[in-house]
Amino acid sequence: MLKLITNNMNLYNTVRNGEFIDGSSLSVLIRVRSLVHLGSKILTHPLCGNLRPNHQPFRSVIIDEKSGPADLESLSLIEDAVRVYQSCKLIMPEEIDEATLKDYAYIDSELMKESLIQFSLLTHNP
Amino acid sequence: MKLELHRLNVKSLKFAEKTGFADGVLSVNKAELLSLIAEDPLLGKNLDVDLAMPGESVRIMPVKDVIEPRWKIEGKGQIFPGLLSDVETVGEGKTLVLSGAAVLTAGKLVRFQEGIIDMSGPGADYTPYSKTCNVVLVLEPSDPNMDKHDYEKACRMAGLKAAAYLAKSCADVKADSVEVYEQANIREGMNNLPGLPKVGYLYMLQTQGLLHDTYLYGVDVKKILPTFLSPLEVMDGAIVSGNCVSACDKNSTYSHQNNPVIADMLKRHGKDFNFIGCIVTNENVTLADKRRSSTYATKLAAMLGLDGLVITEEGFGNPDADLIMNCWKAERLGIKTALLTDEYAGQDGASQSLADSCPEGDACVTAGNANEVIKLPAMKKVIGYAQEADVIAGGWNGSLADDGSITVELQAITGSTSELGYTKLGAYTL
């Protein structure tokens, strides 16, 4: 079953089937990795967008949730993505002002929109 | 296909009553240019045009795009087809180029995305646009709550309009130099140079969504299947950038117009190899799109019987997956590849540079490490909004110091690690 894993509440509120992660971008990737270990397949690139992890407080990944043997392509993608995050020594600034945070959430939603439409997961515009 | 580039060498800029060119000076009628841009109801009332010259103590930020002024003076179609002009195919005839001049679009869009250009100091060495005479458009939306897609388009169009306007105003001036480019059709191209390997250029374009998009003849490239293009079409603005993320490795419209990979391949055509043409492809978000586009693009290369492909990436992270798929799929079809990318190896350079890799990618050129940290001293004048340094990609909280200096990663400097190789820094063979 198709599902969006995200820590972006705006986006979570617009999808048919989602799982909200109350945590960082890395928490989203680690949750996706666990689901991949259980057999889920990744449908969108976990590093979409063009910002370093410390500039990307929101992450969203669409998966096909299944149980069974791990899909090797998904596993390699998610492990690489987690590695990129862990190698980034700069962590997110502790305080981000509201306007900037809104911009980050907006861009994350925008980058996922096309894919959510493609997979018929969007109920209304973020 | 034959295209002549008629170059006027711009060495200086000034505001004047009439827009035109004489003795190396591009004169700009500010009021006329402003009124042309202000025609767009999406843009606000506080628009400005400013000039910035190489060597001046000027910082421009946040920069969205850089465009070279060009105008077709003879031949089919017009510059920037599908956006500024009709959709007629370009790449033939005569095109006037204001060499050494550039139009920059600046203004807030989404706050952390755009770049910095310093016209002097250590930052200037990292951006090719510190060497151009820049006409800077400072833009704002007419409604602060405007949809960001609409505002992005308005900024993009303002830049294209200004670039075309400047070149058109100089259309009656005799060129300082003329360059002639010719591209044979495929049948002739295939038979012309027996014995030389047939090489193509796989031209990857950023296509992930808002501020990450690119347009080909006005079509959003994320919606195309890979397609074949003459390098001469690119010189007439067939490819237009709608993205600025991250500033270091976004391909500006200017770098498309002056793509050095195309320029070099045309130079070496007939000597080292037979340059057949460009295959344009996208860098979408879904894995299905990535698989479809990489399979299709490499299939086109195989159908053309290519022996080799030069592949350039745009961006990093997600596009690394496209780059690697393009590489191994081509190699497994028997087509040799050379890759051009940049690196995100951490501030100490110790991390793995790309988010993906494959054993077939054994010929790879880097444009530099985008995480390298640089301190940019204060400039006497800032065009745009200096406080954006704190939130721009490559900056962090506290990036902008009280003395006006900025500490950022190279990521924040427009074009600093251009994956088309449009940069002044590198190793040269003497």
Decide if A45 contacts B323 (C-beta within 8 A): no
Residue B166 has pLDDT above 90, yes or no: yes
DSSP characters over B203-232: EEEE-SSTTEEEEETTEEGGGSPPEEE-HH
- Identify the DSSP state of A78: H
Q: Which residues of A touch B286 (CB under 8 A)?
A: 43-45, 62, 115, 118-119
- Hey, which residues of B are catalytic here? 244
* pTM, full prediction: 0.93
Give the tens place of pLDDT for each residue, B361-380.
Answer: 999 999 999 989 999 999 99
Q: Please determine, for the modelled complex, whether the ipTM score is greater than 0.95.
A: no
Res A89: pLDDT = 54
pLDDT band at A111 (very low <50, low <70, confident <90, very high): confident
DSSP characters over B299-339: HHHHHTT-SEEEEE--SSSHHHHHHHHHHHHHHHTT-EEEE
Q: How far apart are CA A123 and CA A12, in angstroms?
A: 10
Which tokens go with B389? 């340094």
Residue B424 has pLDDT above 80, yes or no: no
Neighbouring residues of B395: CB distance < 8 A, sequence distance ≥ 6? B112, B389, B406, B408, B409, B412
Lowest mean pLDDT among B176-185, B209-218, B219-228, B328-337: B209-218
Decide if B257 contacts B99 (C-beta within 8 A): no
Number of cross-chain residue pairs from A and B with Cβ atoms under 8 Å apart: 115
Say whether B285 and A103 touch across the interface (CB within 8 A). Answer: no
Q: How far apart are CA B286 and CA A119, in angstroms?
A: 10
Tell me if chain B has a CB within 8 Å of the CB of A87: yes
DSSP characters over A48-62: -SS--GGG----EEE
Structure-derived torsion over alpha carbons of residues A111, A116, A117, A121, reported in degrees to the nearest 10: -160
Return the bridge partners of B205, or none: B282
pLDDT band at B244 (very low <50, low <70, confident <90, very high): confident
CA B205 to chain centre: 10
pLDDT band at B354 (very low <50, low <70, confident <90, very high): confident
Lowest mean pLDDT among A88-97, B158-167, B273-282: A88-97
Decide if B154 contacts B64 (C-beta within 8 A): no
CA gyration radius, chain A: 14
Give the tens place of pLDDT for each residue, B124-134.
Answer: 999 999 999 99
Q: Which of B243, B313, B318 to mutate: most A Cβ within 10 Å? A: B318
Say whether B222 and A89 touch across the interface (CB within 8 A). Answer: no
Res B399: pLDDT = 80
Longest alpha-carbon distance in chain B = 64
Is the N-terminal amide bond of B122 cis, ω within 30° of 0? no
How confident is the prediction for chain B on average, in pLDDT?
Answer: 93
Res B147: pLDDT = 87
Query: What is the tally of helices (H) and strands (E) in chain B?
Result: 8, 24
Which tokens go with B10? 């711009």
Give the tens place of pLDDT for each residue, B375-402.
Answer: 999 999 999 877 776 666 666 666 888 8
Res B180: pLDDT = 97
More confident residue, A47 or A63: A63
Residue A111 sits at φ, ψ, to 5 deg, of -70, -25
Which member of B284, B321, B352 has the closest CB to residue A83? Answer: B352
Most confident region among B111-115, B152-156, B215-219 by mean pLDDT: B215-219
Which member of B209, B352, B397 has the closest CB to residue A87? Answer: B352
Res B348: pLDDT = 86
Instruction: Give the chain B residue whose CA is nearest to the CA of A79.
Output: B355
Phi-psi region of B325 (alpha: psi -120 to 50; beta: other; left: phi over 0): alpha
Neighbouring residues of B284: CB distance < 8 A, sequence distance ≥ 6? A114, B207, B208, B222, B290, B293, B322
Lowest mean pLDDT among A31-35, A81-85, A99-103: A99-103
Q: How far apart are CA B85 and CA B83, in angstroms?
A: 6
